[in-house]
Structure 1
Amino acid sequence: PSWILLCSFCGLRQNRSVKSMAKSSSLRIVGGLSSAETGDWPWQASLQYNNIHRCGATLISNTWLVSAAHCFRDHPQKWTATFGALLKPPSLKRPVKTIIIHEKYRYPEHDYDIALVQLSKRVEFTSSIHRVCLPEPSQTFLYNIYAVITGWGALTNDGPTPNALQEATVKLIDSNTCNRKEVYDGDITPRMLCAGYLEGGVDACQGDSGGPLVTPDSRLMWYLVGIVSWGDECAKPNKPGVYTRRLLSAQTAPLIGNSGSARTEVGPS
């Protein structure tokens, strides 16, 4: 079957066409109307505590997910991961075996806001569940390019949450702009990346934390360029979303392997 070839590569979607990578009122998580379909974003996972969605995560191998460290501050145990475009019923569920928080993560600054999540049982890749690509250390992504965020977070600030996975198109914003006084006034560290629109209107929101910020290359292979981390409420003007810049690359990922011998530090300082 064609999905066997599809799943032998990272970052390929069942639907290979790229939806319009431009700002659209119908493509947003906050105030959104656009629900993803099964297989649209096959690396997206839901991290659940007591069977309630808490954060997003991204599948990077058969047994490992990457998410945000701040998701696990209050609930270090009893997590499960689910896969599929719907929270209920999920396509697949796996208990979480291990959570590894970056040793340099600090609250409330959210610097080094990244965690590795090991599943108790491997996931077999299919057309609708498989891994994202991790960039090479030398791979660069230009500012002002469009990227996609996905998640089951709130549709408005402190608002209701959807059962169907939502998607939004955002623009990468350079750190100098994001550190301007009227934006985040110097709070953006080299481990952080801003994405969204300075005019507001499109953003990740509560419950999207830990989820992927992805962008395609010329071959339509999708790469993880950021992890949903923090922001000032949701979709406010001059307050774009802040993402953990990749601390995990195609070269550092093999350090965790599939053996469970994970390292606490998952990237360069």
Structure 2
Amino acid sequence: MMYRTVGFGTQSRSLKPWMIALLIVLLLTVVAVTTGILAHLLVSGQKTEYYHGTFKISDLQVNRNSRQNNTYNLKDLKEMSENLVDEIFIDSALNKHYIKNQVVRLTPEEDGVKVDIIMIFQFPSPEQRAMIKEKIHSILNQKIRTTRALSINASSVQVNAMSSSTGKLTVQACCGKRVVPLIVNRIMSGDIAAKAAWPWQASLQRNNIHQCGATLISNTWLITAAHCFKNNANPHQWTVSFGTTINPPLMKRNIRRIIVHERYHSPAREYDIAVVQFSPKVTFTDDIRRVCLPEASASFQPNSTVYITGFGALFYGGESQNNLREARLKIISDDVCKQPHIYGHDIKFGMFCAGYLEGIYDACRGDSGGPLVIKDFKDTWYLIGIVSWGDNCGQKNKPGVYTEVAYYRNWITSKTGL
């Protein structure tokens, strides 16, 4: 539409100020709508694509328990591999299309380690996948030949396109990832957790009543505290639910097997660990995902920030809550926790303390068996502790005591194969 400011013939008219203002508003509206439509078309024209890559890191050995310089643990190799692929594509012709990558499997072999990695890109819909695959393969090949970060056999590099559904499910199945961003600028003292914030949290229930927390470590296995079953270990009387509320639950499953550590004997607190198998298996989504397990050699420094979650009571003697809550704590050193006025000799092998000596923030009744987690610099979450015991809740000089998952790592593998 064209607006005229001068009339026909010899008579001329000026538009009134309010008419000029109206015309400007109309023009700006048209421009804004047009820009929005173009932006939508550009974004909607981008399609997320997944590519499965493999390569072999040679001339190294993997030893889960060794600290020697010529060996690596799998966690280090995962981080190094992901960082390398990030650097390769950020500094490549595909940098505008590259989103991220994720190592989904590390397979130790006689002369090295095979790496399976998912690479995620966004391309305009008309792009040819075969051509993209070849380009990705070419970039990986060229860059890997010149890298010094890891010794990779360039001839071992392979790339294959994946369907969107398979790619998404594979990434979701990776441990320790969550879609809800962590708010780190405020102290959390029992705040209600956001939906999907802690997708590995589970509620163990007997006769449909919450008893303990648990943590999802695979699509059929949970890990929890042995003392949760000291009065009843009959799997037919237990169920597990997932989600951030107990009622209504996001999903429920029947318990198939309860395996309590053979050396756990109540009222002793050592060996307070159990694994629980349920059926049918769960499908991983944004709301339900497994946490990562640390290696047996893993150690975590005092004063590190960790997080607990659970449906437990808000004060000693209180009732369990329907909504999942979260709190941020600090790891307390054994030297401090073993002081006579704290817990003294009650802190044994396979235990550690977390919380604050001032009290206030702590696990409580109903949180038992639940997760204490920590995240690495790649925002991957690891289960390092299981809520075990403590004197009351949030009492001064009586922080929470947790079962050390790394200490029992080999036992977990022996029972679950994980």
Same fold flag (TM > 0.5): yes
User: CA contact under 8 A between 2:203 and 2:213: conserved in structure 1?
Assistant: yes
State the Cα distance separating 1:140 from its structure 2 match. 2.0
**Gaps (5+ residues) in structure 1?**
263-269
Structure 1 residues 162 and 177: alpha-carbon distance in aligned structure 2, compared to 1, 3 A threshold: same
Amino acid at match of 2:329: V
Structure 1 residues 241 and 257: alpha-carbon distance in aligned structure 2, compared to 1, 3 A threshold: closer
Q: Say whether 1:96 aligns with 2:224.
A: no
* TM-score (structure 1 length as normaliser): 0.88
CA distance in 2, matches of 1:173, 1:145: 8
Question: Which of the residues 214, 222, 226 maps onto 2:385?
Answer: 226
State the Cα distance separating 1:255 from its structure 2 match. 3.4
**Gaps (5+ residues) in structure 2?**
1-164
Question: Which of the residues 178, 186, 208 maps onto 1:13?
Answer: 178
Structure with higher Rg: it is: 2
User: CA contact under 8 A between 1:21 and 1:146: conserved in structure 2?
Assistant: no
Q: Kindly, what percent of the aligned residue pairs are identical?
A: 49
Tell me: higher relative CO, structure 1 or 2? Use CA pairs within 8 A at least 6 residues apart.
Answer: 1
Question: Which of the residues 203, 212, 227 maps onto 1:55?
Answer: 212
Secondary structure at the aligned position of 1:100 is classed as strand
What's the CA shift string for 1:30-86, capped at 9, x where partnerless?
Answer: xx3x11122100000000000000000000011100000000011212100000000
Question: After TM superposition, what 4+ stretches of structure 1 lie above 4 angstroms from structure 2?
Answer: 251-254
State the Cα distance separating 1:253 from its structure 2 match. 4.4
CA distance in 2, matches of 1:238, 1:109: 21
Amino acid at match of 2:179: Q
Within 5 Å, give how 1:103-122 maps onto structure 2: 103-122=262-281
User: CA contact under 8 A between 2:350 and 2:404: conserved in structure 1?
Assistant: yes
* TM-score (structure 2 length as normaliser): 0.57
What's the CA shift string for 1:136-163, capped at 9, x where partnerless?
Answer: 1222211101100000000111113321
CA distance in 2, matches of 1:190, 1:255: 20
CA distance in 1, matches of 2:388, 2:239: 20
CA distance in 1, matches of 2:318, 2:230: 23
* Greater displacement, 188-197 / 5-14: 5-14
Tell me which residue corresponds to 2:304. Answer: 145
User: CA contact under 8 A between 1:21 and 1:147: conserved in structure 2?
Assistant: no
What's the CA shift string for 1:165-200, capped at 9, x where partnerless?
Answer: 000001001112111010002100121010000011
State the Cα distance separating 1:120 from its structure 2 match. 2.5
Tell me which residue corresponds to 1:200. Answer: 359
CA distance in 2, matches of 1:254, 1:192: 19
What's the Cα RMSD here? 1.8
* Greater displacement, 197-206 / 107-116: 107-116
Structure 1 residues 127 and 238: alpha-carbon distance in aligned structure 2, compared to 1, 3 A threshold: same
Tell me which residue corresponds to 1:265. Answer: none
Q: Say whether 1:129 aligns with 2:288.
A: yes
CA distance in 1, matches of 2:296, 2:258: 24
State the Cα distance separating 1:248 from its structure 2 match. 3.9
Amino acid at match of 1:8: A
